[in-house]
């Protein structure tokens, strides 16, 4: 019974995703942006430690 319910929720989520691909694109670009910021910040931290 529980598994059936989980599958149903997954199906709903999947359908929502198909209907709303823009949301996915925004999430992916946001993730990419955060990753990019982190890669920028890390070398700066390293430089600060050297100084």
Range of the domain at 50: 21-51
Query: Does residue 32 lie in a domain region?
Result: yes
CB distance 12 to 5 below 8 Å: no
Query: Does residue 5 lie in a domain region?
Result: no
Query: Does residue 10 lie in a domain region?
Result: no
What band does 5 get if pLDDT is binned at 50, 70 and 90?
Answer: confident
The pLDDT of residue 32 is 92
Tokens of 43: 């070398």
Tell me the pLDDT tens digit for each residue of 17-49.
777 778 778 888 999 999 998 888 877 777 777
d(CA 51, CA 45): 10
Q: Is 51 helix (H, G, I), strand (E, B) or coil?
A: coil
The pLDDT of residue 1 is 65
Q: How many domains does the chain have?
A: 1
Q: What is the pTM of this model?
A: 0.42
The pLDDT of residue 25 is 83
C-alpha separations of 45 from 4, 8, 15, 34, 39 in Å = 49, 46, 43, 16, 10
């Amino acid at each position: 019974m529980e598994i059936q319910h989980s599958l149903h929720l997954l199906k709903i989520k999947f359908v929502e995703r198909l209907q709303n691909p823009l949301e996915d694109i925004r999430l992916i670009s946001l993730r990419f942006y955060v990753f990019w910021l982190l890669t920028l910040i890390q070398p700066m931290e390293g430089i600060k430690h050297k100084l």
